[in-house]
Structure 1
């Protein structure tokens, strides 16, 4: 992997032996990371994380909007927008990280057109808040293996939604593992639209462990991302199977980093 790609540790699942999330952040720094990410924030030591970020000089590449609410269910629209508003406020002290949004589940009896229109309306309202606050929202397609009824499980659909909303503060989080679970081809689903992708996450197939433990062709994956023009960070959102020093050594070797 080109040296231009910085790696971001998912401290939700990594450096767990260090204890609380702020301690994991310091452990990631000691392991050579300048970037980190985690999931939900309401159960995390936000003040301690802010202190650790200031102390280490690290930057967060992503935090999930909390609580998770549907973008396709009109009954959850107000709660979804409020969750974005509250997450923007709560994470401002963490350096205004990008905020990750999942779609929620399909609504029985609702047409594809209605699902799409509802998603655009919700994301447009959320993007207005993001623009006002100067933060970026990351829309993340997931997969039906983990979530059978999830609405957004297609990279192309995610990009279509982002184009329809038309906000510079709404971009895609492309997760190689979720995409692989859906049988997608990276070059096909991202062709011509890499400028809409603000973050990439990686884990190996089938079991979401470190790159080098499964079946994904990482040399080809990295080459494809580079050829398509991706220049952002690579989030290591995987469950380690080895002690962290060995896990990171394998990951860095596999990714050519």
Structure 2
């Protein structure tokens, strides 16, 4: 099992510098890590820590976040992709995480979808030229009440419509559960479009194994559906990070 530490939230014991957190994740036996926005981070230090440890990144966010459904923000969204691709190059060219942005009042569902597909086709072309994967992430309405993309099915529909090998889905089990989705139902037949999976306990967004989500069953379903990619540990630890990761690994069956 390929576990990826979210050093945005984990290994805080090592300090605020994500380079130090990455080294701490490596010392805890992890070879993969991920974080969120990059503009406020020491990317040179993170790159040095990656070189020292061999840890690879499974994802960073396109920064700044801009809407894929509001045409007014499309130029800024594509500029953000371009900037993030430049930074990603020195970080091993990890997948770049894209969120949708918020619904536009008065815009039809068809227009939202068409706008998303249009700009993501352009963004995927930029990513393809750079040899990088974009991953589109559905979120949830409890966290963002008017977010456009809060459905795994819709996210997969968008990925299929864009039809690029450089755009895939990030499936977050926690967000999906908040939205009342069933893992097997929403991924069946389309797991090949998923490049990354993130996990957290529900409710609470703490370690897998906390709350009511049966992660042993989730992992069995993912295996049945032939998902073999990394598992991102995007949760808030309730104990020290080394203990937390060990508990998460046990709950996930790894």
**If the TM-score is normalised by the length of the shorter chain, which range does it land in?**
over 0.9
Displacement after TM superposition at 1:136 (Å): 0.1
37, 40, 44: which is aligned to 2:41?
44
1:161 pairs with one of 154, 158, 162: 158
Q: Does 1:191 align with 2:201?
A: no
User: 1:86-134: CA deviations, max 9, x gaps?
Assistant: 0000121000000000000000000000000000001001001001000
Question: Aligned runs of 1:1-257 on 2, under 5 Å?
Answer: 5-19=1-15, 20-257=17-254
Q: Distance in 2 between matches of 1:213 and 1:224?
A: 19
- Give deviations 1:228-257, integer Å, cap 9, x for gaps: 010000000000001112211211111111
- Rounded Cα–Cα distance in structure 2 between residues aligned with 1:45 and 1:237: 20
Q: CA RMSD in A?
A: 0.5
Distance in 1, matches of 2:242 and 2:24, equals: 11
Runs of at least 5 residues in structure 2 that lack an aligned partner in the other structure: none
Whole-Å separation in 2 of the counterparts to 1:224 and 1:40: 31
The CA deviation string for residues 119-164 of structure 1, in whole angstroms up to 9 with x for no partner, is 0001001001001000000000000000000000000000000000
Mapped to 2, the partners of 1:236 and 1:75 lie a distance apart of: 34
Q: Post-superposition, which runs of at least 4 consecutive aligned residues in structure 1 deviate over 6 A?
A: none
Unaligned segments of structure 1, at least 5 residues: none
